[in-house]
Structure 1
Amino acid sequence: MQLLNRYQIPIFIIIAYLFAILCRMEWVVWASGYSDFIWNNQLMISTNDGYAYAEGARDMIAGFHQPNDLSYYGTPLSTLTFLLAKILPVSLETIMVYLSVFLASLIVVPMILIGKEFGHVKEFFVASLLASIANSYYNRTMAGYYDTDMLVIVLPLFAIWGLIRLHFRGDLGSFLIISISMLIYNWWYPSSYTLCVAMTIFYALYTIVFERKNLRNYQAILFMILAITAASYIFKLALILALFGLIYFRSYWLNFKLMAMLFIAVLALFIAFGGLNPIWFQAKFYLFRSLGDSSSLAFYFYNVNQTIMESGRIDLDLFTQRISGHWSIFIAGVIGYVLLCVKFRIFLVAIPMVGLGFLALKGGLRFTIYAVPIIAMGFGFLLFYILNKAKIARLNLIAGIITALALMPSLIHIYYYKPSSVLFKTEVNVLDKLGKIADREDYTLAWWDYGYAIRYYSDTKTLIDGGKHLGRENYAVSYALTMPPTSSANMARLEVEYTQKGYEQNYNGKNLEQILKDYNYDELGKFLSDIKKDKFSLPQKSRDIYYFLPDRMMGIFPVVAKFSRLDLLNGKEWADPFFVIATNFAQVDNGISLNNGIIISNDATHIELNGQKFRVNSYIETKYDENMKLKKTIHNIDNLADIYLIYMVDYGRFILLDKEMFESSYIQLFVLENYAGTPFEPVILDPAAKVYKLKR
């Protein structure tokens, strides 16, 4: 027992850390049973954005990358991965799968250290167990989730620990903990700037209200401002160390006049290097959800934020589940946090993290992870507070049982939450083949969801990806995928050539405006009409263009269409296309009943929807023969009808769509392989994904 008390902190940290790691290995055990998730003898990651950092690490290992290829060469996560790949005897892919397991689990360290400062280690040990596997935090830091989220909560918690430590100890070492944590946080995750500014402002307010005579607090604020100033990291580190040296060796110099001068100088640096610009950008993206992406002065484009699930608004029940696993644990955590703040006012400094977590109710579920550790600390504190007040016998045993019950919702979530890899082995095989055919300077056109993975596996350039997908950037790709082959090919060639020219001539992403200017168009409508013509004059070809058309894009195809189905002059959306996919259906007396209530007549000549009958233009059945060649059986029914019916036999799928969607390049090339007489030629025709090359 004496040994346990002596080494209580490291023992609790090790237990909590191993617990967090073990829970994250559940996905590895499950996913390893599916060969579709394995490539190059390793599991593939489950997050799209991860391939951006993977590409950067791959290029760093190679020692080069192409100009304007959008590689994440030299970014923090790519750099860390590159260094680990050089040191460890494992593959790059292995590091990608497991890095989040070991780094994200570090969340338990600052939480238990905060508990040590408060003198409530057991309470915060319980909190660390709960926070390490809470739904939202687990989802974004599990094995295979290769992204910067693995440290996005850990680092600000170390800064909060530094502030709390400074409050209780008043030691100079806390200055370095605070500032270095924020400096690394800002380097690791540039979007953390908003949270860091909020923490700085709130700590300043806390100091003015509660500890206005505490010189150490003002000195800490100086360190915090230096850490978040948008100067180079080496320069900021030098200033931090210089300030630390001044306080350590010449503290007697720091009278009121010198402190005032230091504040003026530091604030001047802060303003000179950009100030509040990044905060405004984040607020505009997540809070002010206007339809138009009016960053282009001439046109209004569709805002991508309206289609991203994790930035969509969520209901209260889901909100509480994401933070604490269950609403009852969440409520207990909130009450506990209030009690903590009453007993230890310094814990008010965690309010910015709580506030950012509550922003999820408006800004989207991705924000919930920020509140996870703070609410967990509140739960742990409330648990022991009640048990101590009630003078419960065998307190530790009862606390252990309640903790186990509190962990159950999150453990159940872990058991059932099983995301697949971003791409399946068959799709990666297609991209791997493309990489051996295409040149690194060639472009592969696909929706932004696949951009990073395309660049990683095929090493070709892309127009859009998970980081470059504003409405003005998505418009041309949406147009190319949803318009007929001729206009699709013309738009693709224009967008690729003007994207390349734009890197040199700085079009600022306004390719469409530049195209209209160079082609002497005064009216957008005239341009959109002319681009449909086969003889439209195109710029000189500088590289090849490939279309990557995966089967799994079928499910998001209506969303893809939204980005080009609007009037760019006023932002008004057009009516949604008729596009229905059904894989669940059954034979009934009057036809085939789909799971969404649509009935297809037995002779496939009409469909019934909401009590109305609609004639079918054509019924098409597709099936692969023994040589994996696509065969089509076409039944023309009513040339005046607007509804087309396709049955993809091998996929067990019905598609019901209107004429616009039927004539789209995606349907014509992927579903029907109608490339004869078009500007496209097939390169890879695989049922999972097909690649076409643009001939013009």
Structure 2
Amino acid sequence: MDTLNKETKITLLYIAIAFLFSVALRMIWFYQFSDYEPFKFNGQFMINTNDGYFWAEGARDILSGVSQENDLSPIDRATSQLTALFAFILPFSFETVILFMPVVLGSLVVIPIILIAKSLNNQEMGLVAALLASIANSYYNRTMIGYFDTDMLNIVLPMFLLWSIIWAIRTNENRYLIITAIDILIYRWWYPQSYSLEFSFFGLILLYTLIWDRKNIYNYKLLSLMMLAMIGFEGYIRTLLVIAAFYIYTKEKFDRYVYYIFGVSIVLFFTSGGFNPIWGQLKGYVFKDAVTAGKDGLGLHFYSVVQTVREAGQIPFEIFANRISGHVVTFILSVAGFIYLAYKHKIMLLGLPLIGLGFLAYVGGLRFTIYAVPVLAFGAAFLITEAARFMPTKRLKFLTVTALSLAVLYPNITHIQNYRVPTVFSADEVKVLDKFKETAEREDYVIAWWDYGYPLRYYSDVKTLIDGGKHSGVVNFPVSFILTHPQEAAAKMSRLDVEYTEKTFKFKEENEDLIRDKNLTIFSNIEQMTKDYGFSDTNDFLLSLEGEMELPKKSRDVYLYLPHRMIDIYPTVEKFSSIDLMSGEMRKSPLYYATRMFKQEQNIIHLGGGIIFNIQNATITINNQTVPIKRFVQTSYDKSANFSKNIQMGNPSEDVTIIYMASHNTFLVVDEKTYNSLYIQLGILGEYDKTLFEKVVDTPQSKIYRLKI
């Protein structure tokens, strides 16, 4: 008993050390910007991930008890519910809770890491692995202070799952059966996309059982409980099935039914559509297409959003290795160490699903690297403790572990010190949205690119057409069209898309049973518009927006949010509507070049990229070709935030315009199509058709207009 108590004390001590270390490193960002007011609103730091505002909106609405119809607020999602609970019971402001939740919850990963090491009788390895995993580049990036997202438990929960599976197989104790099932239930509640990883664990255990341990009935109990926790039913049904099966498994007299329950669980998994989400994820991240064809009657083609998401793109090996272990050398040693560890302790092969998902980053995008971090941290830690084992004295062993641990931790600590990410919006931008809330009603829509959807909903309490979770090519097309086309067509599309969106919501609610039973097709807004206005070719319908047409009856106000920061992503925005919807062919990208890095030498301005602006001759050189410019525009804001612009005409027959935004020290080079787009005209130049729009907000950070039709 004394030995057990001592071992437990060491375990608790190591957990405390690793946890406090993880928290302390995450506070570096807080102290770096403690006096930087642009990152604060109402005296408190804002969060630094867009998706965080989605969960914050849901938690806010849960606490207030108010959520308007079809506002897409995630009041039924775990992250919002847990946040609301913490905000309700803790004596801190809501902003403080969402800022620090990633710090506390993300640091919990050290617990299962040390407990797994304890099962291998190597707690020192657990401590080193916990220190490394808790601050490794990708894990830190997605659990740092202010990164308020599901990632704060997305690795913690599968690591607890790995711990419970290891102990279940090692001990064959009933308690680990229910712990494993409960972990899967919680993981699925927290992160519905967890099925792929859960299924991988299941498959690995099944393979092990069939090859090496076929006669061990305990393994089939474990597998069936895992499967029952994973089937595609509602959470409460899965929970009841798990409890019922576990009760049966605790009674030895029912052992003869184990294989039947196992078979039934597999049948339920596949008949309930359990494998469909797994296949959907593979298609979305591995088998990617730039253009996706719709399933509607006209077979429309839309640009795939996955092509524009950085975290879903392929990455170089060095970045891949650095994100997992902090340095290429550490990564290589971690892989070698894990192979050696698995050779010595075959039970660690159960960590392969996490490594495999992490390595998917090489083809599926950097977001997956986070999964490989904790398991490969065991590899580096094992090599360190093995090296120390050969030292002749305890002092040398301690010094060896310390020195080598610092060596692998140093690159990650350096990364943290240099990783000075900004908040999603600046204080001035948020002040605009907070004030705008007084103008807009909760049922009003604000049209903006999806990057700004969640913050708009959180700070202005309005509806949006697209956001960080609703941004497929189908829904992005109309918004892209609005932002990148001339004012009249954009204004009409704004009214059409909002009213058709609400119309679709209403249709789904009134015909829920019909849609489910008859598999009724719901066309995209663009498809339905085309049909309703009597066209069979969507291109013809889009052209008709330039002429007279009867618009749907106005049901609410519509606003356009045009932030200055969108100049950096305009080419990406434009891509989604630069496609022939009927054929899927991508049109030639228009001329668009933005730069803040330029150099002036007398009458010559070097804009970078080989682009040269000759002020005296009013010419521009692009790709070694020199042509006259059509116009030069300079915009600025004075100290009172009053906007002004000066337009100097050049050669009217040319196509290139240069815009210099003095207050932002930014040059834009655009062709005539881009110059006439809604974003450039309203958002950059403040030039708008007063029969179509009304200016509501005009600041250096953003402009907001109300649609008048």
- TM-score w.r.t. the length of structure 2 is 0.95
SS in 2 for 1:437: coil
C-alpha contact (below 8 Å) 1:604/1:616 kept by paired residues: no
1:108-127 aligned within 5 A? 108-127=110-129
- Indicate how the Cα distance of structure 1 residues 604 and 656 shifts in structure 2: closer, same or farther if over 3 A, else same: farther
One-letter identity of the residue aligned with 1:576 = S
Separation in structure 2 between the aligned mates of residue 627 and residue 128 of structure 1, nearest angstrom:
53
Per the TM alignment, residue 293 of structure 1 is displaced from its structure 2 partner at its CA by: 2.3
Q: Which residue, 592, 607, 616 being the options, matches 1:594?
A: 607
C-alpha contact (below 8 Å) 1:158/1:177 kept by paired residues: no
Separation in structure 2 between the aligned mates of residue 60 and residue 626 of structure 1, nearest angstrom:
41
1:220-239 aligned within 5 A? 220-239=222-241
Per the TM alignment, residue 247 of structure 1 is displaced from its structure 2 partner at its CA by: 2.0
C-alpha contact (below 8 Å) 1:293/1:472 kept by paired residues: no
SS in 2 for 1:254: helix
Find the counterpart in structure 2 of residue 619 from structure 1.
Answer: 632
Q: Which residue, 442, 450, 453 being the options, matches 1:451?
A: 453
Find the counterpart in structure 1 of residue 677 from structure 2.
Answer: 664
One-letter identity of the residue aligned with 2:614 = S
Separation in structure 2 between the aligned mates of residue 631 and residue 137 of structure 1, nearest angstrom:
46
SS in 1 for 2:289: coil
Mapped pair 1:64 → 2:78 = no
Find the counterpart in structure 1 of residue 656 from structure 2.
Answer: 643
One-letter identity of the residue aligned with 2:686 = E
Per the TM alignment, residue 272 of structure 1 is displaced from its structure 2 partner at its CA by: 2.9
Separation in structure 1 between the aligned mates of residue 581 and residue 34 of structure 2, nearest angstrom:
47
C-alpha contact (below 8 Å) 1:472/1:509 kept by paired residues: no
Find the counterpart in structure 2 of residue 631 from structure 1.
Answer: 644
Find the counterpart in structure 1 of residue 623 from structure 2.
Answer: 610
Separation in structure 2 between the aligned mates of residue 467 and residue 103 of structure 1, nearest angstrom:
23
Q: Which residue, 149, 152, 157 being the options, matches 2:151?
A: 149
C-alpha contact (below 8 Å) 2:71/2:463 kept by paired residues: yes
Find the counterpart in structure 1 of residue 172 from structure 2.
Answer: 170
One-letter identity of the residue aligned with 1:232 = E
Deviations 1:410-458 (A, max 9, x none): 0000000011111111111111121111111110000000001100000
C-alpha contact (below 8 Å) 2:188/2:195 kept by paired residues: yes
Find the counterpart in structure 2 of residue 290 from structure 1.
Answer: 289
Separation in structure 2 between the aligned mates of residue 241 and residue 504 of structure 1, nearest angstrom:
39
SS in 2 for 1:193: helix
Separation in structure 2 between the aligned mates of residue 247 and residue 526 of structure 1, nearest angstrom:
65
Q: Structure 1 unaligned segments of length 5 or more: list them.
A: none
C-alpha contact (below 8 Å) 1:549/1:689 kept by paired residues: yes
Find the counterpart in structure 1 of residue 355 from structure 2.
Answer: 354
Q: Which residue, 456, 480, 483 being the options, matches 2:482?
A: 480
Mapped pair 1:685 → 2:698 = yes
One-letter identity of the residue aligned with 2:525 = N
Mapped pair 1:523 → 2:525 = no
Q: Which residue, 496, 499, 504 being the options, matches 2:498?
A: 496
Find the counterpart in structure 2 of residue 514 from structure 1.
Answer: 528
One-letter identity of the residue aligned with 1:372 = V
Find the counterpart in structure 2 of residue 261 from structure 1.
Answer: 260
Per the TM alignment, residue 595 of structure 1 is displaced from its structure 2 partner at its CA by: 2.9
Separation in structure 1 between the aligned mates of residue 666 and residue 678 of structure 2, nearest angstrom:
19
One-letter identity of the residue aligned with 1:94 = T
Separation in structure 1 between the aligned mates of residue 691 and residue 645 of structure 2, nearest angstrom:
18
SS in 2 for 1:619: strand
Q: Which residue, 401, 425, 435 being the options, matches 2:403?
A: 401
Separation in structure 2 between the aligned mates of residue 156 and residue 386 of structure 1, nearest angstrom:
29
One-letter identity of the residue aligned with 1:530 = S
Per the TM alignment, residue 34 of structure 1 is displaced from its structure 2 partner at its CA by: 1.4
Separation in structure 2 between the aligned mates of residue 462 and residue 336 of structure 1, nearest angstrom:
49
Q: Which of 148-157 and 213-222 deviates more?
A: 213-222
- TM-score w.r.t. the length of structure 1 is 0.97
Deviations 1:580-604 (A, max 9, x none): 1121212225511123331110226
C-alpha contact (below 8 Å) 2:611/2:622 kept by paired residues: yes
Find the counterpart in structure 1 of residue 162 from structure 2.
Answer: 160
C-alpha contact (below 8 Å) 2:388/2:398 kept by paired residues: no
One-letter identity of the residue aligned with 1:452 = Y
C-alpha contact (below 8 Å) 1:604/1:619 kept by paired residues: no
Find the counterpart in structure 2 of residue 43 from structure 1.
Answer: 45
One-letter identity of the residue aligned with 2:464 = T
Q: Which of 286-295 and 685-694 deviates more?
A: 286-295
Per the TM alignment, residue 345 of structure 1 is displaced from its structure 2 partner at its CA by: 1.6
1:13-412 aligned within 5 A? 13-248=15-250, 250-255=251-256, 258-297=257-296, 298-389=299-390, 394-412=396-414
SS in 1 for 2:644: strand
Deviations 1:393-420 (A, max 9, x none): 6112111111011100000000000111
Q: Which of 630-639 and 594-603 deviates more?
A: 594-603
Q: Which of 499-508 and 545-554 deviates more?
A: 499-508
Separation in structure 2 between the aligned mates of residue 509 and residue 353 of structure 1, nearest angstrom:
39
- The alignment yields a C-alpha RMSD, in angstroms, of 1.6
- Indicate how the Cα distance of structure 1 residues 333 and 626 shifts in structure 2: closer, same or farther if over 3 A, else same: closer
SS in 2 for 1:436: coil
C-alpha contact (below 8 Å) 2:220/2:262 kept by paired residues: no
C-alpha contact (below 8 Å) 2:130/2:377 kept by paired residues: yes
Deviations 1:626-650 (A, max 9, x none): 5422111111111111000111111
Find the counterpart in structure 2 of residue 12 from structure 1.
Answer: 14
C-alpha contact (below 8 Å) 1:490/1:531 kept by paired residues: yes
Per the TM alignment, residue 660 of structure 1 is displaced from its structure 2 partner at its CA by: 0.9
Per the TM alignment, residue 573 of structure 1 is displaced from its structure 2 partner at its CA by: 1.1
Find the counterpart in structure 1 of residue 560 from structure 2.
Answer: 547
SS in 2 for 1:638: coil
Separation in structure 2 between the aligned mates of residue 203 and residue 315 of structure 1, nearest angstrom:
32
Per the TM alignment, residue 20 of structure 1 is displaced from its structure 2 partner at its CA by: 0.5
- Indicate how the Cα distance of structure 1 residues 509 and 363 shifts in structure 2: closer, same or farther if over 3 A, else same: farther
C-alpha contact (below 8 Å) 1:52/1:456 kept by paired residues: yes
Find the counterpart in structure 2 of residue 537 from structure 1.
Answer: 550
Deviations 1:331-372 (A, max 9, x none): 111111111211222211111111000000000000000000
Q: Which of 239-248 and 387-396 deviates more?
A: 387-396
C-alpha contact (below 8 Å) 2:49/2:146 kept by paired residues: yes
Separation in structure 1 between the aligned mates of residue 123 and residue 627 of structure 2, nearest angstrom:
68
Separation in structure 2 between the aligned mates of residue 478 and residue 165 of structure 1, nearest angstrom:
52
Separation in structure 2 between the aligned mates of residue 218 and residue 627 of structure 1, nearest angstrom:
73
- Indicate how the Cα distance of structure 1 residues 93 and 163 shifts in structure 2: closer, same or farther if over 3 A, else same: same
| 4+ residue runs over 6 A deviation | 1-4
Separation in structure 2 between the aligned mates of residue 267 and residue 611 of structure 1, nearest angstrom:
65
SS in 1 for 2:546: coil
Q: Which of 231-240 and 13-22 deviates more?
A: 231-240
Find the counterpart in structure 2 of residue 584 from structure 1.
Answer: 597
SS in 2 for 1:7: helix
C-alpha contact (below 8 Å) 1:293/1:470 kept by paired residues: no
Q: Which of 44-53 and 22-31 deviates more?
A: 22-31
C-alpha contact (below 8 Å) 2:220/2:259 kept by paired residues: no
Q: Which of 470-479 and 336-345 deviates more?
A: 336-345
